[in-house]
Amino acid sequence: MSDPFFAARTCPRCGADLAGGRTMSRFNTDPICLACTEAERRHPDYAKACEAELAAVRAGDRNFPGIGLPPDLARRP
């Protein structure tokens, strides 16, 4: 069974090697590197994204795709 989350080898945001660690984005389903995870945590909409995910899980939606990636996080450096 191939899961796109684990199949990805590089971070879709910055191109870093995901062998160093990966997490699921809070804004969408991207597998992102730890540096990009930190960038998400500093984003003003991060709390909103977490709340929306929590609300979806409480409503029984385990495949919540996220609230959408803010354009300023999607940018590659």
Q: Interface with Zn ion by CB under 5 A: which residues?
A: 11, 13-14, 16, 33, 36
CB 9 within 8 A of CB 17: yes
Measured from the CB atom, the residue of 54 and 68 that comes closer to Zn ion is 68
Measured from the CB atom, the residue of 19 and 59 that comes closer to Zn ion is 19
Smallest gap from Cβ 34 to Zn ion, in A, equals: 8
Cβ atoms within 10 A of the Cβ of 12, count?
A: 18
Length of the chain in terms of residues written: 77
Smallest gap from Cβ 66 to Zn ion, in A, equals: 16
List, in sequence order, every residue forming a beta bridge with 34; answer none if it has no partner.
none
